[in-house]
Structure 1
Amino acid sequence: MNYSADSLPPIKLIPIEDTALNRELGVSKRPAKTTAPTDIQWVKVLEFLRSNNLAPNSRKLYERELKRFLGWTQLNYHELRSRHLGQYKQYLMSEVCTDAGKPLSKSSVNASLAAIKSFFKWLTLTYPEIITTNPTQGVKLEKVPLPPAQSLTAEQMQSVWSALELLGETKQRDTALVHILSHGLRAGEIVQLNVGSFDGKLLFLPNTKTNEPRLVPLRSESREVLQEYLRSRSRQGEELNSDSPLMISHHASYKGERLSYHGIYFAIEKIGELAVIEDLHPHQFRHTYATDLLLLGVDPTHARKLTGHQSEKAFRRYTLRSEQEAAIAAYYRAIGEEEVE
């Protein structure tokens, strides 16, 4: 039978609803959203940053330096070798500049390498199936003279105590804060303290920078100041329990909430202005505590335990002053002038 074009039935298009067939043919009823592929290597960096008890400034530094390193190399983690890290160190020293256009200092290079070393140490321990050998083991840091401890003098500490008397609403909180800082705690450690961390005599720090729990004994005056601070909060109607934050904020937007890392820095900065101490920051109290322990004759091993220093080399800066004063005292004893001031 002969058909003409006019005698053929019209063609009817039937939409295909079979999802599996659509997927096979590459057909989609609606445009698919395109998203950037996930950077698997950066995912591990983020996991590392979350799993470590880093202070905000340290976290920013680690994130910046690891991002810089991953931007420099195209190699996967398991392909990296010590020679590649040596090349990266040379890159930092010869090609990377500061915002002012100057080469990085040895301390800055070391800070970058320390961040990378810390990450790969974690990675090889956590994911041995990804990388079995730490490629940073053969990379040495630059030799940098140990910076002196930023200890406060007795006169400066007296100015701090006097400045606390000039505060208003935050006076009791900040007085307790300075007492705690004066026992060598890091700002990041104080943020995590709860009421239950204080047993009336000792502070228990379950989470520290070195991931080792620490007990910190408080002086009697400091114990009384802290206890009175907590009693005053109870009198004001706050229901305290073991999980309540030890230090709370007075900021209008966060009143009654846990005092933050930046809140601690802001409080100490304000005290420094009243005490006329330029650029006063929380870590100076830690330096002062460590130095004073040694001046009091506390064994350096015990002093390191109290401050939570793992590195004997890092703690060395605090022994310099005590050794110098001991040498001066020995000289005067030797010549019979022990009472000379």
Structure 2
Amino acid sequence: MNYSRDSLPPINLIPLKDKTDNREERVRKNRLIKIATPTDIRFVKVLEFLRSNNLSVNSCKLYERELKRFLGWTQLSYHELRPRHLALYKEYLRDEVQTDTGKPLSKSSINAGISALKSFFKWMCNTYPDIMAANPTLGVKLEKIPLPPAQSLTAEQMERVWSALELLGETKQRDTALVHILSHGLRAGEIVELNVGSFDGKLLFLPDTKTNEPRLVPLRKESREVLTEYLLSREELGEELNSLTPLMISHHASYKGERLSYHGIYFAVEKIGELAGIEELHPHSFRHTYATDLLMLGIDPSHARKLTGHTSEKAFRRYTLRSEQEAAIAAYYRAIGEEPEKES
């Protein structure tokens, strides 16, 4: 059957608007932007930045998350960004982004996002000056946050930790050596990377640290002996050790004999905390304690920072505040002829 052009029925154009469009509109209205991996060429530079910097596992995840969030917020190319755009983005983080529980971001979370951008664009300016002639984050200030106090363990809590180690089974010797290393101020991520060759019988050598500077950590006599005994016990069990063998190994059924992971260290410390009756004990608790103890011993703050690997004097200030406070209290009691009570 033949149809002429005039006999064809009229064509009605139906706008395509499905549930997905409605949902996206609701998302925009609720000011919630999902952090998804950008598909444009800009993200290639982010990946290059993450791979070219000596970042810890946690820092790498944080930087990637925050940079994805930023690229999801703007479609501007890097060379088009100006300080005003970064100022608007900070307002977006402060006023519009919410946590999973629907609360505004904390000042610390806002600073984490801005710090990630500052690091990335500083790298971009140094690596690709032809793309970025000026750093758009230079004028963006971080939120002011009161310096948190050092969360050091008391002498009594440390005694409970040592006692708890005696209650462990298969992991007792490994975890005892682990706590001795942690009690010398090492970060969990730094311990993961340690090899047998990192220990010369007296010092620990950290070639790759958070600050990108190698560090030597002197160990106490008892700690040296504990670590040496731990390594000897592994050899007695038939393990062949060399300079590249992991210093700390896992006892998990699926990873037995492999390098102890970041999460493995946290799990081990959490278990010790439960046995010791110390809530929320984590690897960094020992780092806080070590830094505080160094200053309480009267070690020069600049030397203490070298031992702990702190580059920021401001970040280290929390420990000097504690030692200064203790010194002031001791001076007061000396002045009035009383002996200060010892902290339990």
For residue 165 of structure 1, what is the aligned residue in structure 2? 166
For residue 181 of structure 1, what is the aligned residue in structure 2? 182
For residue 3 of structure 1, what is the aligned residue in structure 2? none
List aligned pairs for 1:1-16, cutoff 5 A: none
List aligned pairs for 1:94-173, cutoff 5 A: 94-173=95-174
For residue 199 of structure 1, what is the aligned residue in structure 2? 200
Q: Give me the identity figure in percent.
A: 83
Q: Matches of 2:59 and 2:39 in 1, distance apart? A: 25
Q: Matches of 1:294 and 1:118 in 2, distance apart? A: 31
For residue 291 of structure 1, what is the aligned residue in structure 2? 292
Indicate how the Cα distance of structure 1 residues 102 and 296 shifts in structure 2: closer, same or farther if over 3 A, else same: same
For residue 14 of structure 2, what is the aligned residue in structure 1? none
For residue 262 of structure 1, what is the aligned residue in structure 2? 263
Q: 3-state SS of the aligned residue for 1:160?
A: helix
Q: Matches of 2:265 and 2:62 in 1, distance apart? A: 20
Q: Matches of 1:301 and 1:167 in 2, distance apart? A: 38
- What do the CA deviations read for 1:72-106 (whole angstroms, capped 9, x no partner)? 11111111111111111111111111222222121
Indicate how the Cα distance of structure 1 residues 340 and 280 shifts in structure 2: closer, same or farther if over 3 A, else same: closer
Q: Matches of 2:340 and 2:316 in 1, distance apart? A: 30
Q: Matches of 2:207 and 2:229 in 1, distance apart? A: 24
- Give the aligned residue type for 1:314: A
Q: Which runs of 5+ in 1 are unaligned?
A: 1-35
Indicate how the Cα distance of structure 1 residues 178 and 339 shifts in structure 2: closer, same or farther if over 3 A, else same: closer
Once the two structures are TM-superposed, the CA of residue 122 in structure 1 deviates from its matched residue by: 1.7
Once the two structures are TM-superposed, the CA of residue 45 in structure 1 deviates from its matched residue by: 1.1
Q: 3-state SS of the aligned residue for 2:129?
A: coil
- Give the aligned residue type for 1:230: L
List aligned pairs for 1:173-322, cutoff 5 A: 173-322=174-323
Q: 3-state SS of the aligned residue for 2:101?
A: coil
Whether the 8 Å CA contact 1:332–1:340 is kept in 2: the answer is: no
Q: 3-state SS of the aligned residue for 2:58?
A: helix
- Give the aligned residue type for 2:294: L
- Give the aligned residue type for 2:215: R
Whether the 8 Å CA contact 2:153–2:289 is kept in 1: the answer is: yes
Q: Matches of 2:167 and 2:52 in 1, distance apart? A: 41
- Give the aligned residue type for 1:321: R
Once the two structures are TM-superposed, the CA of residue 336 in structure 1 deviates from its matched residue by: 2.5
- What do the CA deviations read for 1:255-303 (whole angstroms, capped 9, x no partner)? 1111111111111111111111111110111011001111111111000
List aligned pairs for 1:319-330, cutoff 5 A: 319-330=320-331
- Give the aligned residue type for 1:200: G
Q: TM-score w.r.t. structure 2 length?
A: 0.86
- Give the aligned residue type for 2:196: V
- Give the aligned residue type for 2:228: Q
For residue 85 of structure 1, what is the aligned residue in structure 2? 86
Whether the 8 Å CA contact 2:205–2:217 is kept in 1: the answer is: yes
Whether the 8 Å CA contact 1:249–1:259 is kept in 2: the answer is: yes
- Give the aligned residue type for 2:214: P
Q: Matches of 1:310 and 1:340 in 2, distance apart? A: 34
Equivalences, count:
306
Q: Matches of 1:99 and 1:252 in 2, distance apart? A: 34
For residue 11 of structure 1, what is the aligned residue in structure 2? none
Q: Which runs of 5+ in 2 are unaligned?
A: 1-36
- Give the aligned residue type for 1:58: S
Q: Matches of 1:37 and 1:110 in 2, distance apart? A: 22
Q: Matches of 1:126 and 1:210 in 2, distance apart? A: 19
Q: 3-state SS of the aligned residue for 1:336?
A: coil
Q: TM-score w.r.t. structure 1 length?
A: 0.87
Once the two structures are TM-superposed, the CA of residue 225 in structure 1 deviates from its matched residue by: 0.4
Q: 3-state SS of the aligned residue for 1:240?
A: coil
For residue 45 of structure 2, what is the aligned residue in structure 1? 44
Q: 3-state SS of the aligned residue for 1:313?
A: helix
Task: After superposing the two structures, state which structure 1 stretch, 42-51 or 219-228, moved more.
Answer: 42-51
Q: Matches of 1:37 and 1:155 in 2, distance apart? A: 51
- What do the CA deviations read for 1:292-319 (whole angstroms, capped 9, x no partner)? 1111111110000000000000001111
Whether the 8 Å CA contact 2:195–2:243 is kept in 1: the answer is: yes
Q: 3-state SS of the aligned residue for 1:248?
A: coil
Indicate how the Cα distance of structure 1 residues 75 and 297 shifts in structure 2: closer, same or farther if over 3 A, else same: same
Whether the 8 Å CA contact 2:330–2:340 is kept in 1: the answer is: no
Q: Matches of 1:213 and 1:128 in 2, distance apart? A: 29
Q: 3-state SS of the aligned residue for 1:112?
A: helix
Q: Matches of 2:91 and 2:340 in 1, distance apart? A: 55
Once the two structures are TM-superposed, the CA of residue 49 in structure 1 deviates from its matched residue by: 1.7
- What do the CA deviations read for 1:131-162 (whole angstroms, capped 9, x no partner)? 12211111110111011111111111111100
Once the two structures are TM-superposed, the CA of residue 47 in structure 1 deviates from its matched residue by: 1.8
Whether the 8 Å CA contact 2:269–2:282 is kept in 1: the answer is: yes
Once the two structures are TM-superposed, the CA of residue 130 in structure 1 deviates from its matched residue by: 2.1
